[in-house]
A and B are shown apart, each in its own frame.
Chain A
């Protein structure tokens, strides 16, 4: 009987080893690293709370968090509006729905690197496609990636273009859960299309809305490859995202202790933001 009892543990042992080595040890070690100064090569040096002191006074880290928040504030509402708009259109009984859905989903499956390299050309100042279009209709060129005030919004627009297909599909699934009779009885009452959308559709798809907001928040906080390829964090650090900054501290300057502190602190911010969103949205539904 003892061997039989051991069998379930055989099934979970690989996971437990993986968890101990690649998750629980790194988390504990990261905590330990926060009180040390280390460049991996030289011996570790205990520095107490010096990393925290430095973090509080680090203007660049503060700016990288603000940049990330700017990205989120533009990206999330834009994403929701565009995705809902197309999802509502696609939920009508039309032909070629499969084709349109597949077309909108295409950028989702393609690597972020491809999208970033491509949009870097579209956003080009002198001969980028977007500026050429603006000139052809008699407008001025825009410094999509060269103007510090516009660069981060440009990246947010590109990210929306890349991800919105996924959210269209999610909203489309959400819209299908709304019972048809609700619309029919609203029509009898003489409700307008907008009223039906505002008072029936929106409240009914709240769970999907919640999922979309949480997913795009987590995605936005991971922003790295787009500024890394497009701008390197510039101009004037306006697109320096938090992950890009942690990367630079860790793998450019080899400040392992400080980078671990930044990572820990930033993860804390992410969890707090998601917790607040959760509370707020649950309140809205309840």
Chain B
């Protein structure tokens, strides 16, 4: 009896979290005039809202921009993050402690301080309306360094020493020996970095004004806020659905990794 009650509560919870997404999908294919009465199934299905989105904004291009920017950032964060993480965990050099404190300091620094001056930097570099503005400031991250540092510490010293005796250079050791042994850390850092960058909106809104260079969430945001959706609900919801689909598909396949990775750092979005 108690168990039944628990199940019912859990199912109600699941409905609360899933139903709005179902409604969004149904509304995006429903005729514009019927959205106001829509509860579960649309009266008829049409892709009219989607064709309007594609004709009004360069959404395919922005999908490419988002993928390009997020993948490049992820690659940079993994490469450079593991380099510094390796130096901290297995190399000796002067100033190691200082470097560690600097990294911790940057992680506690609220982004509200650097927002304005970073934008000015972009203006001075002539990077406004370029991919550089979207990528370079996010190309390294303190969090990834800390995570690689922690993970590399669990890799036995003997493995690295043996490679050194065999004449392996330090870069070779990192990329050929540590990387294959650190896949869980790479996956975690990869998912977190990709998700953070994929979902970022504030920074793109500030540094990109050219439609052709906008990221997908930025384009959808400006489409919903600005006048171009002409306050047609269906069109707005179709744009939102297009933004949600890539992530939901990825989540469906790699659900376990997503949950583990994001919970391991307590990161949201």
State the A residues within 8 Å of B (CB). Answer: 5, 7-9, 11-12, 14-15, 18-19, 21-23, 25-27, 29-30, 33, 40, 86, 89-90, 92, 94, 96, 99-114, 117-122, 126-127, 129, 132, 161, 163, 165-166, 169-170, 173, 211-212, 215, 218-219, 221-222, 224-225, 228-229, 232, 242-243, 246-247, 250-251, 256, 259-260, 263-264, 266-267, 270-271
**Those 3 A-B pairs whose CB atoms lie nearest each other, nearest first:** A127-B36, A26-B117, A8-B93
Q: Do B110 and A225 touch across chains, with their CB atoms under 8 A apart?
A: no
Q: Do B6 and A30 touch across chains, with their CB atoms under 8 A apart?
A: no
**Chain B residues with CB under 8 A of A264:** 113
Closest chain B residue to A18 by CB distance? B140
What separation, in Å, do the CA atoms of A231 and B35 have in the docked complex?
A: 21
**Chain A residues with CB under 8 A of B210:** none
Closest chain B residue to A4 by CB distance? B170
When the two chains form the complex, which single residue of B24, B114, B115 contacts A118, counting CB atoms closer than 8 Å? B24
Residue from B17, B35, B109 with most neighbouring chain A CB atoms (10 Å): B17
What separation, in Å, do the CA atoms of A241 and B188 have in the docked complex?
A: 32
What separation, in Å, do the CA atoms of A133 and B84 have in the docked complex?
A: 55
When the two chains form the complex, which single residue of A33, A92, A111, A173 contacts B269, counting CB atoms closer than 8 Å? A111
Smallest beta-carbon distance A270→chain B, Å: 5
Smallest beta-carbon distance B224→chain A, Å: 5
When the two chains form the complex, which single residue of B17, B91, B201 contacts A225, counting CB atoms closer than 8 Å? B201
**Chain A residues with CB under 8 A of B262:** 108-109, 166, 169
**Chain B residues with CB under 8 A of A102:** 255, 259
Q: Do B112 and A118 touch across chains, with their CB atoms under 8 A apart?
A: no
**Chain A residues with CB under 8 A of B108:** 271
Smallest beta-carbon distance B218→chain A, Å: 8
**Chain A residues with CB under 8 A of B9:** 89
What separation, in Å, do the CA atoms of A24 and B20 have in the docked complex?
A: 43
Closest chain A residue to B91 by CB distance? A8
Q: Do A170 and B266 touch across chains, with their CB atoms under 8 A apart?
A: yes
13 sampled A-B residue pairs with Cβ under 8 A:
A11-B86, A14-B140, A29-B121, A30-B117, A100-B13, A109-B247, A113-B199, A113-B217, A114-B240, A165-B17, A166-B267, A228-B225, A267-B113
Q: Do A118 and B93 touch across chains, with their CB atoms under 8 A apart?
A: no
Interface positions of B from 90 to 144, Cβ below 8 Å from A: 91-93, 99, 102-103, 106, 108-121, 123, 136-137, 139-140
**Chain A residues with CB under 8 A of B206:** 247, 251
Closest chain A residue to B225 by CB distance? A229
B233 at interface by CB-CB < 8 Å = yes
When the two chains form the complex, which single residue of B6, B117, B224 contacts A25, counting CB atoms closer than 8 Å? B117
**Chain B residues with CB under 8 A of A270:** 110, 112
**Chain B residues with CB under 8 A of A218:** 110
Q: Do B259 and A110 touch across chains, with their CB atoms under 8 A apart?
A: no
Q: Do B248 and A101 touch across chains, with their CB atoms under 8 A apart?
A: no
Q: Do A215 and B93 touch across chains, with their CB atoms under 8 A apart?
A: no
**Chain B residues with CB under 8 A of A228:** 221, 225
**What is the total number of residues of chain B having a CB less than 8 Å from a CB of chain A?**
84
**Chain B residues with CB under 8 A of A110:** 21, 244, 247-248
Q: Do A118 and B92 touch across chains, with their CB atoms under 8 A apart?
A: no
**Chain A residues with CB under 8 A of B251:** 106, 109
Q: Do A112 and B201 touch across chains, with their CB atoms under 8 A apart?
A: yes
Interface positions of B from 231 to 249, Cβ below 8 Å from A: 233, 236-237, 239-241, 243-244, 247-248
Interface positions of B from 245 to 268, Cβ below 8 Å from A: 247-248, 251, 255, 258-259, 262-263, 266-268
Smallest beta-carbon distance B216→chain A, Å: 8
**Chain B residues with CB under 8 A of A86:** 10, 13
**Chain B residues with CB under 8 A of A263:** 112-116
Interface positions of B from 180 to 225, Cβ below 8 Å from A: 195, 198-199, 201-202, 206, 217, 220-221, 224-225
When the two chains form the complex, which single residue of A23, A114, A120, A126 contacts B114, counting CB atoms closer than 8 Å? A23
Q: Do B118 and A267 touch across chains, with their CB atoms under 8 A apart?
A: no
What separation, in Å, do the CA atoms of A125 and B38 have in the docked complex?
A: 15
B1 at interface by CB-CB < 8 Å = no
Q: Do B116 and A256 touch across chains, with their CB atoms under 8 A apart?
A: yes
Asked if A126 meets B36 with Cβ closer than 8 Å, knowing A111-B243, A225-B221, the reply is yes
Q: Do B118 and A22 touch across chains, with their CB atoms under 8 A apart?
A: yes
Closest chain A residue to B113 by CB distance? A267
What separation, in Å, do the CA atoms of A148 and B113 have in the docked complex?
A: 29
When the two chains form the complex, which single residue of B83, B86, B112, B248 contacts A246, counting CB atoms closer than 8 Å? B112
Residue from B13, B92, B247 with most neighbouring chain A CB atoms (10 Å): B13
Smallest beta-carbon distance B239→chain A, Å: 8
Q: Do B6 and A89 touch across chains, with their CB atoms under 8 A apart?
A: yes
Q: Do B266 and A256 touch across chains, with their CB atoms under 8 A apart?
A: no
Q: Do A129 and B199 touch across chains, with their CB atoms under 8 A apart?
A: no
**Chain A residues with CB under 8 A of B87:** 8, 11-12
Q: Do B110 and A267 touch across chains, with their CB atoms under 8 A apart?
A: yes
Smallest beta-carbon distance B26→chain A, Å: 11
What separation, in Å, do the CA atoms of A222 and B240 have in the docked complex?
A: 22
Q: Do B109 and A243 touch across chains, with their CB atoms under 8 A apart?
A: no
